[in-house]
């Protein structure tokens, strides 16, 4: 792989951390990490990579001047010792990865932090669809971004308003092709026979479920329009579902499935919402629906005595659903960010970076139906501006043009040691 042109990147500022030794673990299922690493190497940084499965190998390229990637083929129980030794042997200053709560990554982060190495975590953006997240240590419920109004206003001082209108296009066909390639390769028993995936379901079952949903796309769209028409004449709320494999649910909430928060919400709705109200349960667009939510949720509603008042939408115009709703409920989905932008009352059932007093309902779930209030506009605007400026990079992981933009932004922040730090703050120190 050849390095990208880095002539447009700024020189390190005064007091910058200088040459870094950066280790990349698992990242997005795209060439994104390999492209970031190549650009960092071109700037004089030392880049390292550890492969955990054959899918990791597919999305990496040999980088001129960089050490050959290490292949970890041992059992998971021996990984903590391996990663500690690797960090020491190569004097790693930075660890970069996607998803801080995967078992392999959690062990690596603990080892890196014990050695004073900086940890950078990435994933899809809090602002969708054309931003990615780049934070120090953790994201979502574990984010270091402040949750106090005074700190948010101080951080937002002098910043432009957040950019909320999408400007970049990603490529779902390319994402799907790369995802299938990665997981099929990862399933092969050789040469990483001890690797254990963090996913809850077998990839083939997931692909079968998503394929079935794609075949039913027309029916799902019709269902969404019908549900919106049924809900619109009544006071209604939206429950935004998430995928059960989502680590934001598994790590930053008390739930280990979607059934439990759905059932809690439906029971509370039955007891405390107006008698003529409706609850729209919006299924995540990438949920393979192995649990058949179209049957499961009505059964939950029937048990609570509100079968006709709880509606299920597998597809639908989210903005239209939110704009007419009395509020949004979710565990910690980034849909909460969109609802706040639209001025809707929001209740988080888990931990979320956007769950801030003054923005979201801090009282009980039962009280939300009558006491939920819209976000305070000035705090909302400050929060959006500060969050975007400190934790978001404009770009995408898949579409070529958007990925190039995301690579450039990520490289600049790693190069300058400015991941997740307030604007104007000093760059991170280096070991």
With 60 as the cut, is the pLDDT of residue 155 above it? yes
How many structural domains compose the chain? 1
The predicted pLDDT at position 247 comes to 86
With 60 as the cut, is the pLDDT of residue 332 above it? yes
| DSSP bridge pairs for 70 | 50
Q: How far apart are the C-alpha atoms of 80 and 89, rounded to whole Å?
A: 14
The predicted pLDDT at position 11 comes to 36
User: What's the pLDDT tens digit per position in 96-148?
Assistant: 999 899 999 999 999 999 999 999 999 999 999 999 999 999 999 999 999 99
User: Considering the domain boundaries, does residue 145 fall inside one?
Assistant: no
- Tokens standing for residue 195: 């690797």
With 50 as the cut, is the pLDDT of residue 152 above it? yes
pLDDT, average across residues 384-388: 96
CATH number of the structural domain spanning residue 271 = 3.40.50
With 70 as the cut, is the pLDDT of residue 154 above it? yes
The predicted pLDDT at position 3 comes to 30
Among residues 196, 229, 219, 336, which one has the least CA distance to residue 289? 219
Question: Are the CB atoms for 358 and 382 separated by under 8 Å?
Answer: no
Mean pLDDT in the chain? 92
The predicted pLDDT at position 353 comes to 97
The residue segments making up the domain with residue 224 are 219-382
User: Considering the domain boundaries, does residue 333 fall inside one?
Assistant: yes
User: Considering the domain boundaries, does residue 279 fall inside one?
Assistant: yes
- Greater model confidence, 111 or 9: 111
- Running DSSP on this structure, what letter comes out for residue 129? T
Alpha carbon distances (Å) from 14 to 11, 42, 189, 429: 9, 20, 50, 12
pTM score: 0.90
% of the chain residues with pLDDT over 70? 94
% of the chain residues with pLDDT over 90? 87
The predicted pLDDT at position 200 comes to 83
User: Considering the domain boundaries, does residue 16 fall inside one?
Assistant: no
With 70 as the cut, is the pLDDT of residue 14 above it? no
pLDDT, average across residues 176-182: 96
With 90 as the cut, is the pLDDT of residue 423 above it? no
User: Considering the domain boundaries, does residue 101 fall inside one?
Assistant: no
With 50 as the cut, is the pLDDT of residue 5 above it? no
Lowest mean pLDDT segment, chosen from 85-94, 126-135, 312-321, 412-421? 412-421
| Terminal-to-terminal C-alpha distance of the chain | 29
Question: Are the CB atoms for 20 and 119 separated by under 8 Å?
Answer: no
Q: How far apart are the C-alpha atoms of 224 and 213, rounded to whole Å?
A: 13
The predicted pLDDT at position 8 comes to 35
User: Considering the domain boundaries, does residue 378 fall inside one?
Assistant: yes
User: Considering the domain boundaries, does residue 143 fall inside one?
Assistant: no
Q: How far apart are the C-alpha atoms of 8 and 3, rounded to whole Å?
A: 14
With 60 as the cut, is the pLDDT of residue 426 above it? no
The predicted pLDDT at position 422 comes to 52
User: What's the pLDDT tens digit per position in 224-269?
Assistant: 999 999 999 999 999 999 999 888 899 999 999 999 999 999 999 9
- Running DSSP on this structure, what letter comes out for residue 30? S
With 80 as the cut, is the pLDDT of residue 323 above it? yes
User: What's the pLDDT tens digit per position in 207-219?
Assistant: 999 999 999 999 9
The predicted pLDDT at position 431 comes to 44
- Greater model confidence, 4 or 360: 360
User: Considering the domain boundaries, does residue 325 fall inside one?
Assistant: yes
Q: How far apart are the C-alpha atoms of 111 and 108, rounded to whole Å?
A: 5
The predicted pLDDT at position 17 comes to 52
């Amino acid at each position: 792989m050849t390095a990208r042109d880095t002539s447009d990147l700024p020189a390190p500022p005064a007091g910058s951390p200088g040459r870094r030794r950066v280790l990349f673990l698992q990242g997005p299922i795209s060439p994104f990490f390999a492209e970031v690493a190549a650009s960092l190497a071109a700037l004089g940084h030392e880049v390292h990579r550890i492969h955990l499965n054959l899918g990791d190998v597919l999305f990496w390229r040999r980088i001129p001047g960089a050490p050959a990637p290490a292949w970890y083929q041992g059992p998971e129980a021996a990984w903590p010792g391996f990663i500690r030794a690797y960090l020491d042997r190569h004097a790693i200053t930075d660890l970069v990865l996607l998803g801080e709560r995967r078992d392999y990554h959690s062990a690596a982060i603990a080892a890196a932090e014990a050695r004073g190495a900086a940890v950078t975590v990435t994933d899809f953006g809090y602002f969708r669809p054309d931003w990615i997240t780049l934070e120090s240590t953790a994201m979502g419920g574990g984010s270091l971004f402040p949750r106090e109004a005074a700190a948010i206003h101080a951080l937002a001082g002098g910043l432009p308003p957040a950019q909320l209108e999408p400007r970049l296009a990603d490529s779902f066909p390319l994402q799907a092709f790369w995802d299938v390639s990665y997981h099929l390769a990862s399933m092969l028993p050789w040469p990483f026979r001890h690797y254990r995936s963090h996913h809850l379901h077998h990839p083939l079952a997931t692909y079968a479920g998503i394929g079935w949903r794609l075949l039913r796309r027309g029916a799902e769209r019709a269902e969404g329009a019908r549900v919106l028409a049924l809900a619109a004449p009544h006071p209604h709320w939206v429950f935004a579902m998430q995928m059960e494999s989502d680590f934001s649910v598994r790590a930053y909430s008390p739930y280990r499935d979607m059934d439990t928060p759905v059932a809690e919400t439906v029971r509370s709705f039955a007891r405390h919402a107006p008698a003529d109200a409706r609850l729209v349960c919006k299924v995540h667009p990438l949920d393979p629906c192995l649990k058949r939510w179209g049957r499961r949720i009505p059964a939950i509603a029937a048990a609570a005595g509100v079968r006709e008042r709880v509606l299920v939408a597998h597809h639908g115009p989210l903005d239209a659903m939110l704009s007419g709703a009395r509020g949004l409920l979710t565990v910690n989905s980034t849909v909460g960010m969109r609802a706040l932008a639209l001025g809707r009352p929001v209740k988080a059932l888990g931990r979320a970076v956007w769950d801030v007093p003054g923005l979201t309902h801090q009282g009980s779930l039962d009280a939300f139906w009558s006491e939920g209030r819209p976000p305070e506009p000035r705090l909302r605007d400050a929060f959006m501006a500060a969050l975007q400026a400190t934790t978001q990079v404009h770009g995408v992981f898949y579409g070529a043009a958007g990925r190039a933009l995301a690579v450039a932004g990520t490289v600049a922040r790693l190069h300058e040691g400015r991941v997740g730090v307030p604007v104007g703050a000093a760059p991170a120190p280096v070991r």
